[in-house]
Structure 1
C-alpha cells in the first residue's frame, strides 16, 4: 500500500468536541468557534498516519474523513 493519506473535516458534522485536536494536534487546528479543520491541504505525513486513523475513530460526530490517494 503506497497511497498517501489525506484528512478532511466535514464542517456540517463537526460539533467542536476537539478530540481530534487532542489526539493529533499536528493534523488539526480549531477555529474561533472550537470547530476542527485539517491543517493545510489535509495531507498526512507517513509518521502521523496512525494518529489520523485514531482521530477518525474517536470523533463522536463521525466528521473526519480519511482518504487514501
Structure 2
C-alpha cells in the first residue's frame, strides 16, 4: 500500500496523526500533514484506512500494490 496526501486539500486538522501516528505527522510551519511512512507495513493498514476515513478534508488516499 502507498499513502498519498493531497497537500492542496489538506487543512491540517491532524486527524491522520491521531489515527496513525507512526505514518503521519504535521508540518507545523506549513500547517499540512506529512507522510512519515509512504509505504507502511500491512499491519498498519487498519490505522491508515481509519486515517483516510476520518480526514475531514478527504486529503488522504491509498494505492494498493
Q: TM-score, normalised by structure 1?
A: 0.85
Q: Distance in 1 between matches of 2:36 and 2:6?
A: 13
How far off is 1:14 after superposition?
Answer: 0.2
Aligned residues: 64
Q: Distance in 1 between matches of 2:47 and 2:40?
A: 9
Q: Which protein is bigger by CA-based radius of gyration?
A: 1
State the Cα RMSD in Å.
Answer: 1.0
Query: What stretches of structure 1 move > 4 A for 4+ residues in a row?
Result: none
Q: TM-score, normalised by structure 2?
A: 0.90
Structure 1: runs of 5+ lacking an equivalent: none
Structure 2: runs of 5+ lacking an equivalent: none
